[in-house]
Amino acid sequence: MEKAKMRKSRKRRFSVLIIFIILLSVGIFANNYYREGLLAMNPDDSSDVLIVIPSSSSVSTIANILHENKLIKSPLIFKIKVKTSNVASTLKAGEYNLSTDMDLDTIISKLVKGGKDRNIVKFTIPEGYELEQMAEKLAKEGIVNEERFIQLSSDKKNFEEEFPFLKELEKGQSLEGFLFPSTYEIFAGAREEDVIEKMLHEFEKVYEKDLASKLKELDISLNEAVTLASIVEREGKVDEERPLMSAVFYNRIKKDMMLQSCATVQYVLGERKEVLTNEDTRIDSPYNTYINQGLPPGPIASPGEASLVAAVNPADVDYLFFVLTGDGTHTFTKTYEEHLQAKPKK
């Protein structure tokens, strides 16, 4: 009798132990499964995946859309995370550019922030435009609020966390010269921040491709390079001449000659006068290169890629002067006497 009781007791303890091991194993598996579900599908692939979340989509519907597009590992983990984060009611419909290198927290954060309207708006910023011209043009096209666009672009600190190259600029410097001129497509209803960020992204591409390595080689700052490029942009009309113009300004700086760029005075005046008066060239401003040596404090316009490239790749020439010939091209000369003799083409 006593032996039978002992056998039953051992069996119960063994059963409890088996159940405990099973529960522990299930718990470990569930925990690992949950943690795995929080990770990115493919950390090495940042290519965009465009998805559309329809209006009034349930959390389950959103989970299925994400899973079908291979953006999340488990619809169940997505639903659990959304519920425990208490954000189910804040997930928004819209169009999203997501990628498989985003973890679950990032994707949910994007969905809470909201997607874009599917209507596309196109706009063009010409090369050589100033910030105020951009703001005015975009406002007339109904894309931005002019005042807010100017306010946001008036200080680089508003965007330097996302665009580290801006940290190289002076404290309080505006984005003049760094909003890349090009044709863009944005979603209708985009914020002023979205428009500015898109233009900064394009500048960043050119910076990394054409400028970054050359700045070290020439031992000049990013601000100096873009400032020079902006002058070349405003002075030049023919891409082939831009490296020559760049060389002229480099040569004048080396000889402690003032740059005497009409474009810098036009920037101060706020208008593009074809002929400057002597009074114009004496206007008191750090941007006036007729009375101040060296480059102005910052860019005077947004240069295109050709001017940016020319600013860090000046031609190997001894020219110190150039004059407009009348057909959009320039005559380049080495001496002041040659410069005076240069005549516009008939």
The domain locations on the chain are: 48-113, 120-206, 230-341
User: Residue 289 has what pLDDT?
Assistant: 96
CB contact set of 187 (below 8 Å; sequence gap of 6+) = 95, 116, 117, 118, 119, 120, 121, 194
Contact yes or no for 252/232 (Cβ under 8 A):
no
Of 344, 345, 339, nearest in space to 252 by CA: 339
User: Residue 171 has what pLDDT?
Assistant: 95
- Ramachandran angles phi, psi of 40, nearest 5°: -70, 150
d(CA 253, CA 121): 43
Residue listed under structure tokens 């005497």: 260
d(CA 227, CA 114): 37
Residue listed under structure tokens 């983990």: 77
> Which tokens is 278 given?
């002597």
Task: Give the pTM.
Answer: 0.67
**Phi-psi region at 12: left, alpha or beta (left = phi > 0; alpha = psi -120 to 50):** alpha
**Phi-psi region at 270: left, alpha or beta (left = phi > 0; alpha = psi -120 to 50):** left
Contact yes or no for 284/293 (Cβ under 8 A):
no
User: Residue 5 has what pLDDT?
Assistant: 59
SS3 204: helix
Q: Residue 261's Cα: distance from chain center in Å?
A: 29
How far, in Å, are 131, 268, 277 from residue 66 at the CA level? Answer: 39, 53, 64
Q: E strand or H helix at 62, and its extent? A: helix 59-68
User: Residue 55 has what pLDDT?
Assistant: 73
Amino acid of residue 342: A
78-99 burial, b at 16+ Cβ within 10 Å, e below that, comes to bbebbeeeeeeeebeebebebb
Contact yes or no for 128/301 (Cβ under 8 A):
yes
d(CA 50, CA 37): 21
User: Residue 324 has what pLDDT?
Assistant: 87
Low-confidence ranges of the chain (pLDDT < 50): 346
User: Residue 185 has what pLDDT?
Assistant: 84
pLDDT digits (tens, 9 = 90+) for 13-59: 666 667 777 777 676 766 666 677 678 888 888 778 888 888 778 88
Third-level CATH fold of 48-113: Dna Ligase; domain 1 (3.30.1490)
